[in-house]
Amino acid sequence: MPQHPYDVDPRLLRAFAAVAEDLHFTRAAARLHTAQQALSRDIRRVELVLGAELFTRTTRQVTLTPEGVRLLPYARRVLAAYEELAAAWAHDARPLLVDVGAPVSTAFRLLGRARETAPDIEFVARFHSGLTGAVAEIAAGRLDVSAGRVAGLPPELLELVEHRPLRFERVAVLLGDDHRLAALEEIPLAALAGETLYAAAGNPATAEWTDLAVRLFAGRGIELVAPFPEIDGPDEFARLVRKHRWSVLASTEFVGMAGMVLRPIVDPVPLSPVSLVWRKSLRHPGLDALHAAAEAAVAEHGWLERPAGAWLPAVDMAMYEQIGCQYGQV
């Protein structure tokens, strides 16, 4: 007979969440620093408590059952609550774990400003690629703060975080320096008709960026590079882009690459909305410092000003109008 769901040990829920996110027992075990056999036993214990099978296992893949899909958002909320409890009762202020994506990102600039204005607070930078993946890490308690396009998050992840508008970055395209459009200073969107651009399709951690590309390209004759496995690290990214001669949808806040040029897109001017994102109910002096830095940067640099002819997906505009008014930004 199954026990009550509240009898599930949080450690077991953490094991379940790790396997659910990786869909791979070996990788999840390595992430949890435990043996694969021990992890399998923990999953069986969760299934016993709940009286439900949570995963379908074959020799080729691991998938969530409908009951596993149902459990995942509850498990994430429970784990987030435990992380919040631990932080509230910590005797010493722990470091704030901040995902900045890349050393040239808006979030990296914001973190630098917060460090200057609050030198006594310890911030630890992380370099994840994609807000969808970062919020999954926030839900699991391995990150506190990230930044990116919140309108592209799955609803079950969006409900776990709070967010505030930070910046409208201009969308650009990264081209080989011998590309037919490389000599232009700006690239009209219509000029990309017939092109196939890489926009991280196939990388679940950056699903919000691929979604933006799909919305931007719809009806314009621009295609996406077929789904490709997640690319880890700037050197590997550069190697693959050069090998496949991809053109890349990017933002103007993008690392430079030898042999390629970055050109902003115009007519219209597509914008990539970046929000500061943090775990719901998080309390930390570092978060306060990031908010203060955000207010100063928005006022000083006009990060939330939209140029004439700007383009935003309707879903992003609606979210901005809803949340931005809370921060005096609408």
Q: Which domains does the chain have, with CATH numbers?
A: 5-81 (1.10.10.10), 96-168+272-327 (3.40.190.10), 170-270 (3.40.190.10)
Helix/strand/coil for 88: helix
The per-residue pLDDT for 312 is 95
The per-residue pLDDT for 80 is 80
| Range 169-199 burial, b when 16+ CB lie within 10 A, else e | bbbbbbbbeebebeeeeebebebbeebebbb
What is the tens place of the pLDDT at every residue in 83-127? 777 666 654 578 999 999 988 899 999 999 999 999 999 999 999
3-state secondary structure 254-281: CCCCCCEEEEEEECCEEEEEEEEEEECC
What is the tens place of the pLDDT at every residue in 23-75? 999 888 888 888 888 899 999 999 998 999 999 988 888 999 999 999 999 89
Distance, in Å, from the CA atom of 122 to the CA atom of 92, rounded to the nearest integer, reads 11
More confident residue, 87 or 318: 318
Nearest 5°: the CA angle 225, 227, 228 is 100
pLDDT band at 330 (very low <50, low <70, confident <90, very high): low
The per-residue pLDDT for 1 is 45
Q: Report whether 42 contacts 4 (CB < 8 A).
A: no
The per-residue pLDDT for 3 is 53
**pTM: predicted TM-score of the whole model, two decimal places:** 0.75
The per-residue pLDDT for 5 is 55
| DSSP label of 218 | T
| Range 99-138 burial, b when 16+ CB lie within 10 A, else e | bbbeeebbbbbbbebbbeebeebebebbebbbbbbbbbbb
pLDDT at 326 over 90: no
Mean pLDDT across the chain: 90
